[in-house]
Amino acid sequence: MTDLYAVIGNPISQTKSPFIHGLYAKACGQDMAYTALEGPLGGFSGAVDAFRAAGGRGLNVTVPFKMDACAYATTLSERARLAGAVNALKFEGDQVWGENFDGMGLVRDVTHNLGIALRNKRVLLLGAGGAARGALLPFLHEQPASLTIVNRTLSKAVTLAAEVASQAQVTACGYVGLAGQAFDLVFNATSASLRGELPPVPATVFAPGCLAYELAYGKGLTPFLRLAKNAGAAPLADGVGMLAEQAAEAFLWWRGVRPDTRPVIAQLTVPLSGS
């Protein structure tokens, strides 16, 4: 019997998840069907209940339902708990497991696909929302020399840093506090690029040979990446590899086999060109 999986969000027409998981299932010889579900706003639980009743085995979760999924799960991983958000659910009888693979996918893309270590590096994380929260524990697991969280609302960055204070020394500051500092890896986890905007980060944060990573994908040379490029940062990357890798982590979690992400990354990559 074909196992059922899906991604749920609203809107959902833009999702690449059925394409990605379809390729993974074919490559790994898995008898599974994967579809997209547009969940009604305010009706997440009912939609998931119906999917489970129809035999659904697991769900990927995207905006605006990641916090709803966190509340729906009966058991959360540490990553999901810290993020306060779930991007993958697994159903086993009455048990609902909640996971957050976004940060794992990001670290895997950087260390495996790009071949750049975080260990003993100076890391700057722009933003303190869900994307930043999801990345925090996987970042710290790589043992960077320092990790700085910056956010327009300083209190959010301070709160996030305090939540992991027992595990590592994490610094929080506002954008004005970045003056005179330089970093080896800079990650834009803000939503600014989705609006075509630039977070108020000074060009001086990019040390020579710095990796500038845009978590948004498929946007080409965003204002953040353009700033980094003009400041001499190299390499530049967007979130297409993170997308493929977090999907592969969910696939492994559900099916017990990890797919090769390279064909997906090759097909979805948008060149980072422009002036």
3-state secondary structure of 248: helix
The pLDDT of residue 274 is: 61
End position of a domain, from candidates 82, 100, 118: 100
| 111 and 228 inside one domain | yes
Between the two ends of the chain, the Cα-to-Cα distance in Å is 52
Beta bridge partners of 188: 126, 214
Angle in degrees, CA 107, 109, 111, rounded to 5: 65
> Which residue in 169, 171, 164 sits closest to 149, CA to CA?
171
The pLDDT of residue 48 is: 98
The pLDDT of residue 164 is: 85
Beta bridge partners of 237: 213
Segments of the chain with pLDDT less than 50: none
The pLDDT of residue 102 is: 92
Q: Report the C-alpha gap between 102 and 125 in whole angstroms.
A: 14
> Which residue in 225, 221, 230 sits closest to 270, CA to CA?
221
**In which element (H, E) is residue 125 found?**
strand 122-126
Give the chain's domain count.
2
| 42 and 82 inside one domain | yes
CATH number of the domain where residue 84 is located: 3.40.50.10860
| 84 and 183 inside one domain | no
| 68 and 169 inside one domain | no
Tokens of 153: 């609302």
Is 66 noted as a catalytic residue in this protein? yes
Catalytic residue among 16, 66, 121, 229: 66
What single-letter DSSP state applies at residue 14? T
CATH number of the domain where residue 189 is located: 3.40.50.720
The pLDDT of residue 250 is: 98
Range of the domain at 161: 103-240
> Given CA atoms 110, 188, 267, 22 in this order, what sign does their dihedral have?
positive
**Alpha helices, DSSP H, located in 102-237:** 102-108, 130-141, 154-163, 223-230
Tell me the backbone φ, ψ of residue 131, rounded to 5 degrees.
-65, -40
| 235 and 113 inside one domain | yes
The pLDDT of residue 192 is: 85
